[in-house]
């Protein structure tokens, strides 16, 4: 009988589910790390929230552990690479607290509009300062949402119910999905200038870190109010404090901070500032939802092998895994290739499975491809959540299988349509099991996926190769492989280079300065 340890406080419903499914369950909350290491080898499953730290030494001691379930979305407390190396599936519950987090954001916005925390403190102090706390209505005001995915779209719906005008900036939000939500899709610059309230609902990535920088905050409408219930690090906290003190920003309400627990912060004590201790998911309903979901997922896996919301493996049976493994890697790399080159909202994705790959179970391949496609802008995306995330963003997906044709007996072609353009990339698996690119934007070429790559589009003119080599050489960048393709002599061309180190922005700018170059982008796999 599989045995599960619940090491953080979960709803009793989780215990009930495990027991009803026939699993043995122990609840031991608040274990010291040394004690957890001592007993973890007895268990097949570990259910946690955020307090338990599944570090490499804990995982090393977990000789029988098969699955770690996180009741919630964040998995910073779980060493996923270490778990993967030990063959331990890591699951989370990415959608269990969406409504709760959205409601907290709306609550923070209303509290900010009417200065409720400060008015409460003043009144309870016996002051009765009616004239001091002059608020603003939210009706007919413009709410700018940065990140309109699952939670952001719920916030938009609630704001529409408050008769607010809603605009959203999200590179993955399509025009059709925006219309469905009743929001205006805009670029960040327009949102900053027009919004009366700004609410952030984007993950923290390299692209979104300090998305509200000092420069961005200076572009906002005077009197704007800012809410962040997403992730710390999205706002330059020093710049926000300065803008509140000058009166440019009328107020801010933050549930998350750049460093947590936030026992101290530059914003603390600032007038017109509201703080809560990361309460976005802190409701009875949300905690019950995630507890029930994680228990059901873990029980399914331990009893039947079914995989749901796994962060480190696709949804595959054991027999399918070996057969599909090289194609899963190819599909994810093709998606990651296109995703790193996509800068606007994706409207359509078409995947062609040609030849023998079309006779396989293509659903895990599609999930892997969408994972790669969404990964550059969405944190915690995995082969299970990727199809749902794509659907939530209004991305139309089509899968086509075709008989073998052309020079390759089996290949996958990905075509991505955005608000501005369409592009395609195709790849195959060679006899040695290695995935390779065979075509980009209808230009034939052959290239291995490498950890660090440089993608260059250019005009096919003499001197380009020399100029590129000189630019990289002057930056002390070594070229591992160099692959070229062109439409016709003197026409459009593409260069794909594998390099021995990441290409930073300075290197990319050097490449862009070459006269024949049209586009240059650093890629990572």
Active site amino acids: 231, 260, 278
> Rounded to whole angstroms, how far apart are CA atoms 362 and 488?
35
Cα-Cα-Cα-Cα dihedral sign, residues 303, 307, 313, 314: positive
What are 24's strand-pairing partners?
A: 3
> Rounded to whole angstroms, how far apart are CA atoms 21 and 300?
9
Side by side, the strands of the sheet bearing 273-275 are: 184-185, 165-169, 142-146, 197-200, 224-228, 249-254, 273-275
> Rounded to whole angstroms, how far apart are CA atoms 277 and 264?
12
SS3 205: coil
> Rounded to whole angstroms, how far apart are CA atoms 290 and 312?
19
CA torsion, ordered 508, 509, 511, 513, to nearest 10 deg: 170
CB neighbours (10 Å) of residue 357? 23
Q: Provide the CB-side half-sphere exposure for 306 (13 A, CA).
A: 10
> Rounded to whole angstroms, how far apart are CA atoms 167 and 389?
20
What are 251's strand-pairing partners?
A: 225
CB neighbours (10 Å) of residue 29? 12
Cβ neighbors of 157 (< 8 A, separation 6 or more) are: 181
> For residues 252 and 272, is the Cβ–Cβ distance under 8 A?
yes
What is the token pair recorded at 302? 């331990």
Q: What's 409's DSSP letter?
A: S
Cβ neighbors of 347 (< 8 A, separation 6 or more) are: 174, 175, 176, 394, 395, 396, 417, 418, 419
Q: Checking phi first, is residue 269 left (phi over 0); if not, alpha (psi -120 to 50) or beta?
A: left
SS3 422: strand
> For residues 39 and 27, is the Cβ–Cβ distance under 8 A?
no
Q: Checking phi first, is residue 258 left (phi over 0); if not, alpha (psi -120 to 50) or beta?
A: alpha
**DSSP string covering 222-259:** TTEEEEE-S-TTSB-HHHHHHHHHHTSEEEEEES--SS
> Rounded to whole angstroms, how far apart are CA atoms 95 and 331?
25
């Amino acid at each position: 009988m599989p045995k599960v340890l619940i090491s953080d406080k979960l709803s009793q419903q989780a215990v009930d589910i495990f027991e009803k499914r026939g699993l043995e369950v122990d609840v031991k909350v608040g274990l010291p790390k040394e004690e957890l290491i001592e007993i973890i080898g007895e268990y097949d499953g570990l259910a946690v929230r955020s307090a338990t730290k599944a570090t490499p030494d804990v995982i090393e001691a977990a000789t029988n552990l098969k699955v770690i379930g996180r009741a919630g979305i964040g998995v910073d407390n779980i060493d996923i690479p270490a778990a993967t190396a030990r063959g331990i599936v890591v699951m989370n519950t990415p959608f269990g607290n969406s409504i709760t987090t959205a409601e907290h954001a709306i609550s923070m916005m209303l509290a900010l509009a009417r200065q409720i925390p400060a008015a409460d403190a003043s009144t309870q102090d016996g002051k009765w300062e009616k004239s001091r706390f002059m608020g603003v209505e939210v009706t007919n005001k413009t709410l700018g949402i940065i990140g309109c995915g699952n939670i952001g779209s719920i916030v938009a719906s609630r704001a529409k119910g408050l008769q607010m005008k809603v605009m959203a900036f999200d590179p993955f939000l399509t025009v059709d999905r925006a219309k469905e939500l009743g929001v205006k899709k805009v670029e960040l610059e327009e949102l900053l200038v027009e919004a009366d309230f700004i609410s952030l609902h984007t993950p923290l990535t390299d692209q979104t870190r300090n998305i509200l920088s000092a420069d961005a905050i200076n572009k906002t409408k005077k009197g704007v109010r800012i809410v962040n219930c997403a992730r710390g690090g999205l706002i330059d906290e020093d710049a926000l404090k300065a803008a509140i003190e000058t009166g440019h920003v009328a107020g801010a309400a933050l549930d998350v901070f750049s460093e947590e627990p936030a026992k101290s912060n530059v914003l603390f004590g600032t007038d017109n500032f509201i703080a809560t201790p990361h309460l976005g998911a802190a409701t009875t309903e949300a905690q019950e939802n995630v507890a029930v979901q994680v228990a059901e997922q873990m029980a399914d896996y331990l009893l039947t092998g079914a995989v749901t919301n796994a962060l480190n493996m696709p949804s595959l049976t054991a027999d399918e895994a070996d057969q599909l493994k090289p194609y899963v890697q190819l599909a994810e790399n093709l998606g990651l290739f296109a995703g790193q080159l996509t800068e606007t909202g994706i409207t359509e994705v078409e995947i062609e499975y040609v030849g023998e790959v079309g006779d396989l179970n293509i659903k895990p391949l599609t999930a892997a491809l969408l994972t790669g496609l969404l990964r550059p802008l969405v944190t915690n995306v995995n082969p299970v959540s990727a199809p749902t995330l794509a659907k939530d963003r209004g991305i139309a997906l089509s899968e086509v299988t075709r008989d073998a044709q052309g020079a390759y007996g089996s290949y996958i072609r990905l075509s991505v349509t955005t608000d501005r353009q369409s592009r395609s990339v195709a790849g195959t698996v060679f006899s040695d099991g290695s995935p390779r690119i065979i075509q980009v934007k209808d230009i034939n070429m052959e290239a291995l996926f490498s950890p660090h790559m440089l993608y260059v589009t250019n005009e096919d003119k003499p001197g380009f190769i020399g100029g590129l080599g000189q630019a990289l050489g002057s930056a002390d960048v070594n070229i591992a492989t160099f692959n070229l393709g062109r439409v016709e002599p003197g026409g459009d061309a593409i260069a794909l280079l594998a390099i021995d180190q990441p290409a930073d922005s300075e290197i990319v700018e050097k490449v862009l300065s070459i006269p024949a170059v049209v586009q240059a982008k650093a890629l990572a796999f």
